[in-house]
Structure 1
Amino acid sequence: MKKTRVLYLEIAEKIKEDIFSGKYPVGTMLPSEPELERLFDVSKITVRKAIELLAADEYVEKKSGKGTTVLSERPYNKLSKAISFTQILENSNLSVKKMILDVKKITLDESQKAYEYFGSEAIWFQRMYLLDDKPYICFDHYLPVGLKRVTKEDLEQESLYRILYQNGLEIERFMDDFVAIALNQEQQKLLQTEETIALKRIRKSYDYDQKVVEYSEAIYNTSNHAYQIEYET
């Protein structure tokens, strides 16, 4: 184990990677603290600090005398106490389907907002959420060029934030802006609606250096379903 970094941070990161990879699935127990001490060849205090860090970020829950349970495998788990809108939809009785429409490297010009974060080139992909087989949300995502495993097949199998994490980009925080927009004919056709007004969400995802590593614009056809926010207490 390297000594140039704080050991408990390094151990917490390794355990987190094992959670993301599925080695320790949600609902299962982590190895006991003595087992982790032997595995990483460190002291009891170092292991406890690593577990405390993971618990503070709500990846695990530690109960005295019962061990440590994995709570979440989401790389962005600690960012919000709000239940995601996607999760709200999936927990409802509505049928939710996701489609990746296109993925490619594009050239940006200065009039596009993503240019501010990525310069003249970016990876762009578009996806659609269908609600009861009707177009509901259209997303346009912009990512830095040079990322690996950002194909249509990858995006259909893995979450975007896990792919970013696998590329060494860990999200520290989101910033969302919501605005009402007038739909143009192309957007109306894409969402299969005659509505002229829609809700638009603009998201910027920041890493720990406060650099935008993902920019997205999502248009919601709220005539199909209202946008909801549900908070955990």
Structure 2
Amino acid sequence: MKKKSGIGTRVISNNLFNKLSKAKSYSSIVNESGNLTKQILTANVLATKDTPVKAESTNKNIVYIKRLYLLDNKPFIIVNHYLPNIDVADELQSLKNQSLYKFLRDNGQEINSFSDEFSAVNIDETDKKILQKQDNLALKRIRRGFDNKGKLIEYTESIYDSNKMPYKIEYEI
């Protein structure tokens, strides 16, 4: 605590993350590193029971979008989006180079918070071929995005070839 005459008492946290005011996202860093392009590989509607969000969603159907991110025309991320609260399957092709979060916002979904989980994985031959990798090792990120009531809006599994572009976030304190 800091006490100053006429100002009041201010509590100071020792926790670094309470001090963070800005974080530069991985997407921003990638955009600064080269020419980022996106391709939609698949866009359709799946039965919820056939998706990783079956335990978290009460909807019958989930919008599924599989995208490939390329940096300087080299594939480096496979992204699988599962969107439980969107009913716009016919508009999915318009997502081509658009941000997922702008797409969600345009469809009445606002992300209030998210959680990310990272793990090292061995990818299958299909993903190896898509990413043009020689080895099987990749970084997997699972992101869950929630609205202000804690309702799941986005579930995304991404596979990164971190040899082409390391996963990096910059924080400003």
TM range (shorter): 0.7 to 0.9
Equivalent positions of 1:35-184 (< 5 A) are: 81-92=22-33, 94-109=34-49, 112-119=51-58, 120-144=60-84, 146-148=86-88, 151-156=91-96, 158-184=98-124
Task: Return the letter of the residue paired with 1:188.
Answer: K
Q: Is the 8 A contact 1:135 1:190 kept in 2?
A: yes
The match for 1:228 is 168
Superposition deviation, residue 132 in structure 1: 1.9
What is the letter of the counterpart of residue 128 of structure 1?
L
Partner residue of 2:15?
none
Letter in 2 for 1:208: N
Counterpart in the other structure of 2:126: 186
2:150 is the counterpart of 1:210? yes
CA RMSD of aligned residues (A): 2.0
Specify the code of the residue in structure 2 equivalent to 1:82.
A
Residue 114 of structure 1 aligns to which amino acid in structure 2? V
Q: Any unmatched runs of 5+ in structure 2?
A: 1-20
Contact 1:137/1:219, CA 8 A, preserved across alignment:
yes
Provide the secondary structure at the position in 1 that maps to 2:112. Answer: strand
Instruction: Report how far residue 149 of structure 1 moved.
Output: 7.1
Same amino acid, percent of matched pairs: 36
Alignment match, 1:201: 141
User: Deviation of residue 146 (structure 1)?
Assistant: 4.6
SS at match of 2:49: coil
Figure out how many residues of one structure are paired with residues of the other and give that number: 152
1:112-161 deviation line (CA, Å, top 9, x unaligned): 42212235521000111112211100100001255337623321253221
Preserved CA contact (<8 Å) 1:81 1:232: yes
- Residue aligned with 2:95, SS: helix
Deviation string for 1:142-198 (max 9, x for gaps)? 012553376233212532212222322211101000011111111111111111111
In the alignment, is the contact (CA less than 8 A) between 2:43 and 2:64 conserved in 1?
yes
Highest RCO, 1 vs 2 (Cα 8 Å, sep ≥ 6): 2
TM-score w.r.t. length of structure 1: 0.60
**Compared with structure 1, are the counterparts of its residues 151 and 160 closer, same or farther at alpha carbon in structure 2 (3 Å cutoff)?**
same
Please state whether the residue corresponding to 1:171 is helix, strand or coil: coil
Aligned residue for 2:128, secondary structure, equals helix
1:146/1:216 CA distance change after superposition, 3 Å: closer
What is the letter of the counterpart of residue 120 of structure 2?
Answer: A
More strand by share: 2
* Greater displacement, 161-170 / 195-204: 161-170
